[in-house]
Chains A and B, each alone.
Chain A
Amino acid sequence: MEKFTTLTSLAMPLDRTNVDTDQIIPKQFLKRIERTGYGEFLFYDWRRTATGEPDPSFVLNDPRYKGAQILVAGKNFACGSSREHAAWALANFGFRAVIAPSFADIFFSNAGKNGIVLVKLSEEQVAQLLNNAKTTLGYQLTVSLEDQTVTDGRGFKASFDVDPFRKFCLIEGLDDIALTLRHEAELDAFEAKHDQDVWLKARS
């Protein structure tokens, strides 16, 4: 996993609430068995008109935001399906941070495992950032995971909460399975005892 410390980038405003993972990566792309190559399918239907042409009114197609690595969105971002393909698509497209008032639980976990930092700010702060990103050409934000702050160099400064362990993993780019296997002795002992519980056996 790629390490994350501080990121300064253009901010792309996605002024919608309850953006679901079906929109982030539509189902037809879930049939692939690869883990890479999802970036081109990010927001596939929203990027296109009914006739399949690129929709110039959708923010991902707006040349002003080309290369943005920070996405700013409304509350309950990435709700719905558990598909990690949503995190893969965002990361593969180039996003390393998403700022929103709230995130769905499963996506929260998926994003962390793909080096995407999720920044939870208040509705008012997000509204301000959405407005700034829409009205200020070349609007950039800096997300510092170490300091847990978002700044725009123009007077905006907000701090955000992050679970210390998640922060540690993101900064170090750590693989979860290896971390868990530090507890293998405890796991072996637990499992030997737990396997005696006939009421919790998968098979009888």
Chain B
Amino acid sequence: MSNEPKTLFEKVWEQHVVAEPKDEPTLLYIDLQLLHEVTSPQAFEGLRLAGRKVRRPDRCIATVDHNVPTTLEGRSNIVDQIAARQISALNKNCADFGIELYGVDSPDQGVVHIIGPEQGFTKPGMTIVCGDSHTATHGAFGALAFGMGTSEVEHVLATQTLPQAKPRTFRISVEGELPKGVTAKDIILAIIGQIGTDGATGCVIEYAGSAIRALSMEGRMTVCNMSIEAGARAGMIAPDATTFAYLKGRNHSPKGADWDKAVAEWSKLATDEGAKFDRELTIDATKLAPYVSWGTSPGMVAPITATVPDPATGKTEIERKGFERALEYMGLKAGTPLVDIPIDRVFIGSCTNGRIEDMRAAARIAQGYKVSPEVSAMVVPGSHEVKALAEKEGLDRIFREAGFEWREPGCSMCLAMNPDVLKPGERSASTSNRNFEGRQGRGSRTHLVSPEMAAAAAIAGHFVDIRDWKVKEMATPEVKA
């Protein structure tokens, strides 16, 4: 290895090169594969047909998240037989191939991208893959983490490697202090709005700058999570004291002398001064506002103070047609202030915003208020650990008293593969990551927002500018003598 200054991405990449055959993609070693019920059955079937084994079951973990119902009743008897068959296929595959499974009944079950970090599997400098495009979440720790298809799931199971063409590097520096009410979710929505849903295709983004450094691990995960919505292969953030503080003491974090050694190694990963990126972009954090998506692509976003845009503002004919189609699908008229859009449903959760900090942020807004009678709202913690911690802090009580449903962990209404589905024409404020046509059910209309904005919208019955919200102080718990 040369002494040239290197980027975080290059350092992680170089430490995982198994072979560089001439005129072929690099063979990259994979430290950790995360598996779930939806994209793995055909991969295990492929192994069986070819008589292959899982090379490193110790470098795999599995959970059920996409299909699982979020009510206790629904979980005890999964009525969707096709979903039930897929869940039992994962149980059998994990048992047959010796892979640890966080199943429906596990006390640590949750969304795959939430339990990986929570259990300490995710570590800086690792290569992490999953048959799920939101795998970039783990890049928040300085890991190179990316999504892949089922053939690649099978490939990693069999070989613990992946042939990969080296992506280009793209540094996005978010500088300055975020204004009050503006969150990690707004940073990433603003980025996608600016560069477009194919703005980072073929690239690994490194998020840098003082606004990123100031984020908690939860916030960093939210930013990296939606890298795919900008087309990126992965998103990464250099590990620092915030990262190490999060990791210390987790189930699978190194212990004792190994911990010290690990921190020393992880500390070397940050991009060197003077390292070159293929592309660079700087964003002024002080100018950001709370964002709301208005269309059917995550790039169709606007600040809450804006109005629904006029399709005539599209830059090309095909873009204008795309805008028109999006507005028709969303049932919106150009020029309507975003704050005037009434909503029917609210979903707080997902791998984007289903962590404890998201629960706290939404509860702080909901405290002392009632959900609008026109709105049905639900909170789905991302994992059992998030749920238990939230309950310990009394957040479930705040949500329930305000009229939110408090559910069991899973992907839920983010992609509506389980029973949590919008009806045709229903409009949601959702903390998830995609507003594609039909994403939350056929004919569903999704607006992507932060947890704070979603909670406020549930109460008001329409979008509101969270910067104007009057937070009611948390009541001091009564102490009974």
Q: Which residues of A contact B (CB under 8 A)?
A: 15-18, 20, 22-23, 26-28, 30-35, 45, 50, 74-76, 79-85, 87, 102, 104-106, 109-110, 113-114, 163-165, 176-177, 179-181, 183, 186-187, 190-191, 194, 197-204
Contact = CB atoms under 8 A, between A and B. Distances in A.
Nearest to A113: B151
Nearest to A101: B198
A176 B322 CA distance: 37
Nearest to A79: B197
Contact of A82 (B132, B197, B231, B442): B132
A183 B147 contact: no
Given A34-B42, A50-B424, A177-B159, A18 B123 contact: no
Interface stretch (B104-112, B259-267, B285-293, B459-467): B259-267
B121 interface: yes
Interface of B: 15-16, 18-19, 21, 23-25, 27, 29, 31-32, 38-39, 41-42, 45-46, 50, 52, 58-61, 66-67, 80, 82-83, 85-86, 89, 120-121, 123-126, 131-133, 147-152, 154-155, 158-161, 163, 165, 167, 197-198, 201-202, 228-229, 231, 233, 252-255, 258, 261-262, 265-266, 297, 299, 318-319, 321-322, 325, 415-417, 424, 434, 436-439, 442-443
B231 A190 contact: no
Q: Nearest 7 CB-CB pairs, A to B?
A: A84-B149, A199-B262, A33-B41, A110-B149, A76-B198, A113-B151, A82-B147
B149 A76 contact: no
Given A20-B436, A180-B163, A102 B198 contact: yes
A201 B434 contact: no
Nearest to A183: B19
| Among A87, A114, A165, A201, residue most surrounded by chain B Cβ atoms (within 10 Å) | A201
A27 B417 contact: yes
Given A106-B147, A109-B148, A82 B318 contact: no
| Among A16, A102, A199, residue most surrounded by chain B Cβ atoms (within 10 Å) | A199
B149 A113 contact: yes
A102 B167 CA distance: 16
Contact of A31 (B18, B67, B131): B67
B94 to A, nearest CB: 14
7 contacts: A15-B321, A22-B415, A102-B198, A109-B152, A163-B165, A187-B159, A201-B31
B252 A202 contact: yes
A135 B58 CA distance: 57
Given A180-B27, A187-B159, A199 B148 contact: no
A105 B151 contact: no
A106 B234 CA distance: 11
Given A177-B155, A183-B18, A87 B438 contact: no
B438 A203 contact: no
Contact of B42 (A27, A35, A81, A201): A35
A116 to B, nearest CB: 12
B258 A198 contact: yes
A50 to B, nearest CB: 7
Contacts, number: 205
Contacts of A109: 148-149, 152
A110 to B, nearest CB: 4
Given A84-B39, A180-B27, A190-B18, A199 B254 contact: yes
A199 B261 contact: yes
Contacts of A202: 31-32, 58-61, 121, 252
Given A82-B39, A180-B27, A104 B18 contact: no
A203 B121 contact: yes
Contacts of A203: 58, 121, 252
Given A181-B159, A190-B29, A17 B318 contact: yes
A186 B121 contact: no
A131 to B, nearest CB: 12
B163 A81 contact: no
| Among A82, A104, A113, A194, residue most surrounded by chain B Cβ atoms (within 10 Å) | A82
Nearest to A190: B18
Contacts of B60: 202
Contact of A199 (B61, B80, B123, B165): B123
Given A104-B231, A198-B254, A199-B254, A45 B437 contact: yes
| Among B158, B161, B229, residue most surrounded by chain A Cβ atoms (within 10 Å) | B161
Contact of A104 (B16, B41, B201, B415): B201
A204 B253 contact: yes
Nearest to B253: A204
A165 B25 contact: yes
B82 A23 contact: no
B169 to A, nearest CB: 14
A198 B158 CA distance: 23
Nearest to B154: A177
A80 B201 CA distance: 11
Contact of B161 (A27, A33, A187): A187
A33 B85 contact: yes
A204 B25 CA distance: 32
A144 B31 CA distance: 39
Contacts of B442: 26, 45
B18 A33 contact: no
